[in-house]
Amino acid sequence: MKKLSAKIQDDDADDWKPAPVPDTSSLAALAKAARSCTACHLYKRATQSVFGEGPKRARLILLGEQPGDQEDLAGKPFVGPAGKLLDRALEEAGINRDEVYVTNTVKHFKWEPRGKRRIHQKPNSREIAACRPWLEAELRLVRPKLLVCLGATAAQSIFGPSFRVTRERGKVLESEIAPRVLATVHPSSLLRQPDEESRQREYAHFVADLRAALKASR
């Protein structure tokens, strides 16, 4: 396995602080504490924090970027269109979603208004750094066999800004935060494919990555 390390970019470094994670062995206590997190400014516009969900001893953690509009309203990760596609792909790959832990790099929805809609904005390095202690606590308590990074933001939060999912996807790598990591695309990218042929091709590739993750977690 190849070992890569990450460095958080320090742009606007004064505009955040590490999240105040309690010393606890309870995921429920972590989730409760995260509801009052003000480590960065994103809490001001989000409906609520969206913490991880799943069994404490899950063999797989799936790590996305951030909650979307529907996740922000429901308070649960991956329940919108990308989440439904993820559920389908997990089933095809032979993975029971109820047996994996699903979370996001950033726990609050970052958005900008566009008419009556709330449009996703990519989190920046200070927002990712502020949320990092929550992810570290989740990894410490769940202790998965494999961390699966869904998309560039999740992967770069682990391996640094030079990491490219297109070059490394499907490979089992080592990192400082988790001993075994596999990166793939975010399911939302499948929804943005320009035509049916490319959607089917990229979906099949995504399912293959999930099957590789299942094998690596055994």
Containing 63, the helix (H) or strand (E) segment is strand 60-64
Give the architecture-level CATH label for domain 22-216. Answer: 3-Layer(aba) Sandwich (3.40)
Cα–Cα dist 125/138, whole Å: 20
Q: Where are the domains of the chain?
A: 22-216
Q: What is the pLDDT of residues 113-150, one digit of tens each?
A: 999 999 999 999 999 999 999 999 999 999 999 999 99
Task: Provide the pairing of β-strand 117-120 with 2-3.
Answer: unpaired
Q: What is the pLDDT of residues 8-67, one digit of tens each?
A: 344 444 579 999 999 999 999 999 999 999 999 999 999 999 999 999 999 999 999 999
